[in-house]
């Protein structure tokens, strides 16, 4: 983000109509900064007192029913608020610069509801020790890192809404984000690296319970549906350019030829 001049600092501090929206956006950015890593640790079964695998729970059938309702809630919120029609609706009531911030609030609140209300089903499907266990746990952390790397490539601050508020309320210049197709870096290997990171973090675990399976299957289904809807929007925005890109680059996992073919040149 562009740096502020002393005059801009004074202007923001002395103007509540500029300061309050920006601080609100900044607070939501911090909220997301706490929520996202906790969600990933929750999904991986790491360190937290309650995770997808462990914690207080009901018997298996009502637990699974509750978990499916929670996952459906996430899918409805996440995909519904991402649709252009909803964005057009919400900006009737909220400044356009804060539309992404409102979306991030929705995502985070739903994730907290899921983490707090989730019903583990602790029956173990597999438990791997030794080298295989290390490989599976390492896979989770690779997915964890890829989630953050993908957000940085997608313009981290814009993705989480703070860039729009900063430019609107602090430095007061038009949003400079260019609507262009991202095909560089890891996007040369897969079209949706953020989703790749999530998929890997959901499925790689040295201990995998029935509850973990419900989580992984449910969110994998959401990712497939959400990606289908997103690609439809991308085709509408970029047309033949995106179709050509999609014909060459896989959606989630790189081909062996793409990985080793490029490195051998």
Q: Is residue 256 part of a domain?
A: no
Q: Is residue 262 part of a domain?
A: no
Of the given ranges (14-23, 79-88, 176-185, 205-214), which has the lowest mean pLDDT? 176-185
User: ∠ CA(236), CA(160), CA(204), 5° rounding?
Assistant: 85
| pLDDT confidence tier of residue 81, bands split at 50, 70 and 90 | confident
Distances (CA, A) of 225 to 87, 139, 220: 19, 24, 9
Residue 204, SS3 per DSSP: coil
pLDDT of the residue at 162: 93
Among 169, 147, 143, CA closest to 159: 147
Range of 149's domain? 6-175+182-251
pLDDT of the residue at 200: 97
Q: How many folded domains does the chain comprise?
A: 1
pLDDT of the residue at 262: 53
The model's pTM is 0.88
CB-based contacts of 217: which residues, under 8 Å, 6+ apart?
Answer: none
Q: Is residue 53 part of a domain?
A: yes
């Amino acid at each position: 983000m562009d740096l502020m001049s002393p005059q801009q600092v004074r202007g923001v501090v002395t103007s509540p109509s500029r300061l309050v929206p920006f601080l609100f956006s900044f607070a939501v950015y911090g909220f997301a900064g706490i929520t996202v890593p906790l969600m990933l640790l929750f999904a991986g079964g790491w360190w937290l007192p309650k995770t997808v695998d462990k914690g207080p729970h009901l018997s298996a059938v009502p637990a699974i029913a509750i978990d499916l309702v929670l996952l459906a809630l996430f899918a409805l919120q996440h995909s519904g608020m991402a649709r252009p029609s909803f964005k057009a609706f919400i900006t009737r009531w909220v400044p356009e610069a804060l539309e992404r911030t409102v979306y991030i609030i929705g995502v985070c609140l739903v994730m907290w509801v899921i983490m707090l209300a989730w019903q583990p089903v602790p029956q173990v499907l597999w438990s791997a020790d030794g080298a295989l266990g290390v490989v599976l746990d390492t896979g989770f952390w690779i997915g964890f890192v890829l989630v953050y790397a993908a957000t940085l490539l997608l313009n981290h601050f814009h993705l989480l809404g703070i860039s729009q508020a900063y430019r609107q309320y602090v430095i007061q210049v038009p949003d400079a984000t260019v609507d262009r197709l991202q095909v560089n870096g890891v996007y040369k290997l897969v079209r949706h690296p953020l989703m790749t990171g999530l998929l890997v973090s959901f499925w790689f675990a040295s201990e995998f319970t029935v509850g973990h399976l419900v989580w992984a299957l449910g969110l994998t289904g959401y990712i497939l549906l959400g990606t289908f809807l997103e690609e439809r929007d991308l085709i509408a925005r970029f047309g033949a350019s995106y179709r050509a890109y999609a014909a060459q680059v896989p959606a989630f996992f790189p081909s062996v030829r793409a990985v080793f073919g490029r490195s051998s040149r």
